[in-house]
């Protein structure tokens, strides 16, 4: 009866990775997110010593619910990637594809985006190779400002915060990612108590559309 989910991965560099963590975390069909460094050659980069790497968000998603093309739409809509803005390598626009299908879809979507604008798109599309997990304090960064919420939902270890699908949702919603309508629809599935739901809802409304999550 139960169809096993064949989860897929997508990896994007799109500025500060706290934002991508929030943005994709609340997306229906996204199972979990984590942030890290990728795209460069330096061994074992860290936030303070990132070398030639870029901040990226790594997304695990259910392709039966959300397509790679839909993830790409969100990618294009939510960061700077034109020649007219100077962006350092840490925050560069980067798509790291996980298979040939993603490569083709990504290239096609970049062409489509290019046609919509006059300045040159600087987004690079490369093969996903090595991914270095960022420090714990960067994982679900926005949720970490809410110790009460973490405690009451039992997300009380770095490993759980990094891997939990619920943590991905809470981290995004608390920062105002996603719409109020989407939140209202999803709330019953989050399994929160009345009190926790109210706490979260306050921030969903307060932070709605502030857009940066950084
Ligand atoms: N605006 C943030 C960026 C953090 S980030 C993970 C800061 O200055 O700390 O790159």
Average pLDDT over residues 160-185: 96
If one residue of 13, 15, 18 were mutated to test the ligand 1 pocket, choosing by the most ligand atoms within 8 A of its CB, it would be 18
Q: Do the beta carbons of residue 189 and residue 165 sit within 8 Å?
A: no
Residue 52: predicted pLDDT = 97
Average pLDDT over residues 177-196: 96
Phi and psi based region of residue 34 (left: phi greater than 0; alpha: psi -120 to 50; beta: remaining) = beta
User: What tens digit of pLDDT does each residue of 60-102 get?
Assistant: 999 999 999 999 999 999 998 988 778 899 999 999 999 999 9
Which domains, ranges and CATH numbers included, belong to the chain? 8-136 (3.30.1060.10), 139-207 (no CATH)
| Catalytic (active site) residue 16 | yes
The residue whose CA is least distant from atom 6 of ligand 1 is 16
Q: Higher pLDDT residue, 128 or 212?
A: 128
Q: Using CA atoms, how far apart are residues 161 and 158, in angstroms rounded to an integer?
A: 5
Cα(47) to ligand 1 centroid in Å equals 10
Asked whether residue 2 carries a pLDDT value surpassing 70, the answer given is no
The residue whose CA is least distant from atom 9 of ligand 1 is 214
Asked whether residue 1 carries a pLDDT value surpassing 60, the answer given is no
Cα(214) to ligand 1 centroid in Å equals 7
């Amino acid at each position: 009866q139960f169809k096993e989910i064949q989860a897929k991965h997508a990896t994007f560099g799109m500025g500060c990775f706290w934002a991508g963590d929030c943005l994709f975390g609340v997306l229906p069909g996204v199972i979990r997110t984590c942030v890290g460094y990728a795209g460069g050659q330096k061994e074992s980069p860290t936030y303070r010593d990132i070398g030639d790497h870029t901040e990226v968000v790594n997304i695990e998603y259910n392709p039966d619910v959300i397509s790679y093309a839909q993830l790409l739409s969100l990618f294009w809509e939510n960061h700077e990637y034109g020649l007219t803005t100077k962006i350092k390598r840490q925050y560069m626009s980067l798509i790291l594809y996980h298979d040939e299908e993603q490569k083709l879809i990504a290239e096609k979507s970049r062409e489509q985006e290019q046609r919509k604008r006059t300045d040159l798109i600087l987004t690079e599309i490369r093969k996903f190779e090595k991914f270095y997990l960022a420090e714990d304090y960067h994982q679900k960064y926005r949720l970490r400002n809410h110790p009460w919420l973490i405690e009451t939902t039992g997300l009380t270890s770095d490993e759980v915060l990094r891997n939990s699908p619920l943590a991905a949702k809470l981290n995004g919603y608390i920062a105002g990612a996603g719409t109020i309508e989407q939140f209202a629809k999803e709330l019953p599935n989050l399994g929160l108590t009345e009190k926790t739901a109210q706490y979260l809802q306050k921030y969903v409304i307060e932070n709605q559309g502030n857009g940066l999550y950084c």
